[in-house]
Structure 1
């Protein structure tokens, strides 16, 4: 097509758009598009801001956005580069040391911090002036200590502590430090001092085992740029950490939150697509003869398609811009309502989130309007005189384009193509089953209607008389209702199960270095307090020697984590039972009592080191080489706070190894751990109660944010449901006009419409309830790693809610149909 013809078509499309808008012909389609774009853009804008805020909140557990953890002092050039990237920075040095006070000595975890600490989160403390909270650090000459040190040595604020060669004044009790929960070995009392005082203590000597941390915080783009700059410059023994790498429990919580948000986005895409597809169908069907008129005046099929295509292009841009503004208003209002959960000052949405609305409108119309638009090219001019000519079909192009559009939007919204394919596959499977069942149910309703009362008989017959339209409506409404049920009932089940995944009695203590003869003494201590003894698991140190008889070396791996794993020793264990926090994802677990040499490897470790099922691994355990094949890969719930291991073997094969034992438990009372250490002085008790509290707080904040997101999509779903019902306005007006012309009263007409809508809603709701029950179970197991739970009340709830929701949503339309005179319909003015 020539450029002049294209410009002419675009101008004609713009004029046609203005005329159709004024005439009200595009009202339904524009409204459906507005709702669709508003739903998707509000989800995109809201999820973008929530995701940034949640990541920032979770970063408070690290006291920064990014941390360089190193054995040596970070070079000054790194802080200069951070400043050049407009990043804030701070430093710390931590190591175990002895402190002396009141003629007593005890081991503490000493942490020296610089100005600016913490960059994220806040330090909470108590001094003589009361409680304080904020970005706080000890002044030179002062130290702060936690309650464990104060209780252990009987200290009071104002006492002197000697650290190395320097004495300090104890001026505050530390109640909470942001990154205290990240350090797993926070089982000894903690003392904070100013980094400027560290040299005066004389504790920093050559060979001292000190961990230096460089804290960095700023905008995400700058943090990522700094990460890329630092990665190739890290010396041996150094690593980069963010919150997801530092704590696997937090990583698991964030991943589940993102999946919840992704589910909400996919449901929004599905709802929007259903409404737009029905609206496009209605609009183009109404203009079948208008196209025939243009063909009769000499326009070619390509010219006709170009004119209507340009109209839809302008409509997509208009709907995209207006829908995005509406979506921003919706999410802004929701954030205002949820400010008590989310706090003030959420980060602004990114550019891609703003573009999601207009781009979604273009993709939706391209996927769902292009097939009927191309069918306009085959409209015969004879259709001007003969309205009974069959309309051209769309062949296989319609479902293929619709599938591509939906898949693209879902992958974009979720951010994971594989996850989008999995979810959409389930949705299309649900649609196929719904179409088949609804066809059978509509046929049965037609048979049943013959014995019903007059109004109800006509209403039910209307469904059976147009089975294709009825099946289309039932399928669209069933998807919408299933989404609404998923967002209301199933949401509560999923989020409740997620929050219950960290139960109130989750272990808050780890115990290590327990020797074999001491296991009975440990059990006796628990039984004396009326508590169940914990399960103790053996543990020994092992170094990976080879994979498939090929020696492993750190330099063979590009990934920093892989290099660290092969350069250090593993904690290897053996057992006969799989354990509650482990599940086999490939291969088979060995039979109890099996002595066959074999290993079970954690799935993440296998992916990092390139280990596959059937590979042969060799480990050095206390100077002895142990070699066996990998018989299974396991998925480990690292957020269970249970002892877990990367590599396991059968007890009958490895059980003869010398080992120490490890256990996790919830302390029966406040003084239990002190009595345990007094009875078993060689045992190391690791208090992880701070970690448990912090992770539970993160999960609670994430759950509240997800709740807010689901409320948003629920509102969008109700609006789309109303838009989908509006698309059948013409068919219902024609039926009503015929009944009125034959003498039916408004009361009888209302009875007919209520019967049809009630049956339509009940059928859709019943199928939606069954679908939501199945979807909820699959989502729990496959998507969120939660236990299977089926809500058997959903089918009945769906049936009742479907009938009620459809009638309520269609009530304005019902009133219009009942009041429109038959003459207006026959003249085409309705």
Structure 2
């Protein structure tokens, strides 16, 4: 009972309340992302048996109808296996409103073998069906209806056929629950595919054959097929299937966890500051209790009871707030998730308790222990209790280990967790140096000038630079995160579009068959103001370098691994493309043609290859070895067709090929010409780059809003650090204010000076954050988009204003009591 009464009194302290709120924010930030991720993972587990559409899937980049391994299926032991087929490829659905880029999927009558299609019919009822669309029907995603401004029952054109849209797809088994699909789905029956004339030689399509049956038969089939598959074919099972889905989820979870971690780490700074302040404030009452006969063991027991109550309260409230916040994430990412999620994440209630207890023990245990051991006489006599070196070392060690434990608790990837911790510390140090330099620069303004109120404020800030640097860095971290997202999400895309010339190609036409080249070129030349060039494209996989077979495991760089895992688009020409520049070696010699290849400089650097190296490609099952004789630099912002690998015409022209081009169709010609091409050549895909950018902007907008939502916890945590720093430095502030008042300063003058200090502090934090965001923007522009990026004054101004607003909002009320404290009482308390 005494313990409860003691902690009821302590709860009236401002430091206790700030500590409680900081704990709640930390737990809420983690819980919101954790519950969201848990629900997605639960959906994946729930649908695991359906995510492949079968027990075994063979995926191929070529039509499997003539695959040599099909003869294996004729064996008696595999007669009981059921089969289904699908093919997926990009296409364009024309309409009066927009030419919509879609992901078209054709399935046969037995698809899916596992799971069910969940669709919505014309009556608005949800149905679960054991098969896909029948011949003569089209099923679409909800987004297709809105984009084309149609309703169920209306007809749309797909290639050379026109069919009614009869159902809306809600869940598609082997689509991975609809996670982050770039183009909306249109589904048809394979019986309509030939009539549509959409597929031709070299089409950019993915064929899939699904199998279900007894496990021994499935395992035997895997064993027999594995050595027979070509490099463009692979086996997917429930154990290794849908790696792109699991990888996407893992990256998305890590990204959101990073956002939550930054907020939690900033909250940790506030917890550490307030915990030390709270321990100092407790020292007087603890000393009185000691003088009344309370033993250290009894006091320790009282402290444990209070910390338990604080842990329980902060954990429950933090998890509840996080649970509410995760609904906000679901709303922001609804279109990307695209599937009903089961309730999950209830285990975050005990985890919230664990996190709350961990933070309290890590940041409050050491200062409280020293407060318990402080001599009662020294405290009662108001002697200053200075932290000794042992307390400082232990506090730092406990804090570091606690921060690492929090990183490991939030991010499951140990390497990523440690990197995030190191990155947080490194970024904080850089911010601290910038902030310290800015404070000292402001203080230098007062040298040799009259001591006006502003100059006095700057000099006062310089004397308390240690506390203010910590305060400003914490606030700057939260603001920098938000501004970085704003730059990457909107401004960079706008700059990228501005960097593209007005007459740059705005349509890409691919999947052009060799016998269609002349007709397509004539049509485009008539419609375009500039001559149109068509480029041949041969699909091939890089299989060896200098005679050594390579796989994805050969390389550490993720981009290099992706390059060798997929088929490359190879091309041939005897003339150097106008937007290419040879930086090393010489272009092809027409007098003595040989098996040589020109390589783009970026891919050469990733793969660690150079002039004289021998590259071996697998092209339709046939090996081709060529020597690198030149390295090229490309203008990626030209919006022209670019290739990593270009061969002489004589070397590659005999292989199966399709053609591709880019064209600038201005004004009213763009849509009619695109439609005419698709009508005349149904197998073509006309890609509207403006549409792609719009879709990209939409995805970035949704993800960016979700992450900004999580970063709001960071800003609030930064605001609490502002309050904590103001409270921690209250003694120095009170002494300074008392002296100023004794010299004749009024309360209003002191308040204005305090508000000015908070405004300057926040503005500096915003400036540091804006500089960091602009630096990231430059890095992304230079290394990813590959164009020049100039500083954006509006973002810098926005950062400065946002920092000042947050600092004043959270700190003004904290300094009010300091500025209004009675002069005589204050001078006596501070010993002046």
Deviates most, 781-790 or 366-375: 781-790
Map of 1:68 onto structure 2: 57
Q: Distance in 1 between matches of 2:274 and 2:223?
A: 57
Q: Is the 8 A contact 2:132 2:189 kept in 1?
A: no
Please, what TM-score do these two structures have when normalized by structure 1?
0.65
Map of 1:808 onto structure 2: 809
Shift of 1:708: 3.6
Q: Distance in 1 between matches of 2:23 and 2:760?
A: 27
Matched ranges for 1:120-131 at <5 A? 122=119
Shift of 1:721: 0.7
Q: Distance in 2 between matches of 1:364 and 1:334?
A: 25
**Out of 283, 289, 302, which is 2:278 matched to?**
283
Indicate whether 1:753 and 2:735 are aligned: no
Map of 1:791 onto structure 2: 792
Matched ranges for 1:197-346 at <5 A? 213-214=209-210, 235-236=225-226, 239-240=235-236, 261-287=256-282, 312=307, 315-332=310-327, 346=341
Q: Secondary structure of 1:113's partner? A: coil
Shift of 1:600: 5.3
Change (3 A) 1:678 1:719: closer
**Out of 587, 593, 597, which is 2:587 matched to?**
593
Q: Is the 8 A contact 1:541 1:570 kept in 2?
A: yes
Change (3 A) 1:804 1:143: closer
Q: Distance in 2 between matches of 1:121 and 1:233?
A: 33
Matched ranges for 1:75-94 at <5 A? 92=85
Q: Is the 8 A contact 2:726 2:811 kept in 1?
A: no
Shift of 1:550: 5.5
The CA RMSD measured in Å over matched residues stands at: 6.8
Shift of 1:271: 2.8
Q: Distance in 2 between matches of 1:361 and 1:383?
A: 32
Change (3 A) 1:498 1:678: closer
Map of 2:137 onto structure 1: 144
Map of 1:387 onto structure 2: 383
Matched ranges for 1:95-134 at <5 A? 111-114=107-110, 119=116, 122=119
Shift of 1:616: 5.7
Q: Secondary structure of 2:57's partner? A: strand
Q: Secondary structure of 1:350's partner? A: coil
Indicate whether 1:35 and 2:28 are aligned: no
Indicate whether 1:462 and 2:460 are aligned: yes
Q: Is the 8 A contact 2:485 2:704 kept in 1?
A: no
Q: Distance in 2 between matches of 1:826 and 1:635?
A: 72
Q: Distance in 2 between matches of 1:740 and 1:568?
A: 74
**Out of 187, 192, 201, which is 2:189 matched to?**
192
Map of 1:717 onto structure 2: 715
Instruction: Give CA deviations for 1:61-87 in whole Å, capped at 9, x if unaligned.
Output: x99699834767899999x99xxxxxx
Change (3 A) 1:529 1:568: closer
Q: Distance in 1 between matches of 2:385 and 2:405?
A: 36
Q: Secondary structure of 1:626's partner? A: strand
Q: Distance in 1 between matches of 2:36 and 2:264?
A: 15
Map of 2:491 onto structure 1: 493
Map of 1:202 onto structure 2: none
Q: Is the 8 A contact 2:573 2:647 kept in 1?
A: yes
Change (3 A) 1:113 1:700: farther
Change (3 A) 1:599 1:766: same
Map of 1:44 onto structure 2: 34
Deviates most, 763-772 or 499-508: 499-508
Q: Secondary structure of 1:793's partner? A: helix
Instruction: Give CA deviations for 1:78-125 in whole Å, capped at 9, x if unaligned.
Output: 9x99xxxxxxx99556799xxxxxxxxxxx99742348799456488x
Map of 1:511 onto structure 2: 511
Change (3 A) 1:320 1:644: farther
Please, what TM-score do these two structures have when normalized by structure 2?
0.64
Q: Distance in 1 between matches of 2:769 and 2:19?
A: 25
Instruction: Give CA deviations for 1:636-665 in whole Å, capped at 9, x if unaligned.
Output: 99xx999787x7356499568667452154
Q: Is the 8 A contact 1:110 1:191 kept in 2?
A: yes
What runs of 5+ residues in structure 2 fail to find an aligned partner? 65-69, 90-103, 141-152, 154-161, 176-180, 193-204, 590-594
Shift of 1:707: 0.8
Q: Secondary structure of 2:108's partner? A: strand
Instruction: Give CA deviations for 1:605-624 in whole Å, capped at 9, x if unaligned.
Output: 999xxx87588654477977
Shift of 1:17: 5.0
Shift of 1:314: 5.7
Q: Secondary structure of 1:728's partner? A: helix
Q: Distance in 2 between matches of 1:251 and 1:652?
A: 41
Map of 1:434 onto structure 2: 431
Q: Is the 8 A contact 1:616 1:629 kept in 2?
A: yes
Shift of 1:757: 1.9
Shift of 1:443: 3.7
Matched ranges for 1:346-365 at <5 A? 346-350=341-345, 357-365=352-360
Map of 2:477 onto structure 1: 479
Q: Distance in 1 between matches of 2:211 and 2:355?
A: 39
Change (3 A) 1:310 1:115: same
Shift of 1:713: 2.4
Q: Is the 8 A contact 1:617 1:630 kept in 2?
A: no
Shift of 1:762: 2.7
Q: Is the 8 A contact 2:332 2:706 kept in 1?
A: no
Change (3 A) 1:120 1:454: farther
Change (3 A) 1:90 1:535: same
Instruction: Give CA deviations for 1:522-572 in whole Å, capped at 9, x if unaligned.
Output: 433311012656654444466777565467899x99xxxx99999999764
Deviates most, 458-467 or 16-25: 16-25
Shift of 1:328: 1.7
Shift of 1:34: 1.5
Q: Secondary structure of 1:436's partner? A: helix
Q: Is the 8 A contact 1:37 1:361 kept in 2?
A: yes
Q: Distance in 2 between matches of 1:745 and 1:500?
A: 54
Q: Secondary structure of 2:511's partner? A: strand
The count of corresponding residues between Structure 1 and Structure 2 is 729
What runs of 5+ residues in structure 1 fail to find an aligned partner? 1-10, 82-88, 97-107, 148-156, 158-169, 196-208, 217-224
Map of 1:161 onto structure 2: none
Shift of 1:27: 1.8
Q: Is the 8 A contact 1:726 1:813 kept in 2?
A: no
Q: Secondary structure of 1:239's partner? A: strand
**Out of 693, 700, 703, which is 2:701 matched to?**
703
Change (3 A) 1:810 1:215: farther
Indicate whether 1:728 and 2:726 are aligned: yes
Q: Is the 8 A contact 2:507 2:689 kept in 1?
A: no
Q: Is the 8 A contact 1:40 1:356 kept in 2?
A: no
Q: Is the 8 A contact 2:111 2:131 kept in 1?
A: no
Matched ranges for 1:168-183 at <5 A? 172=164
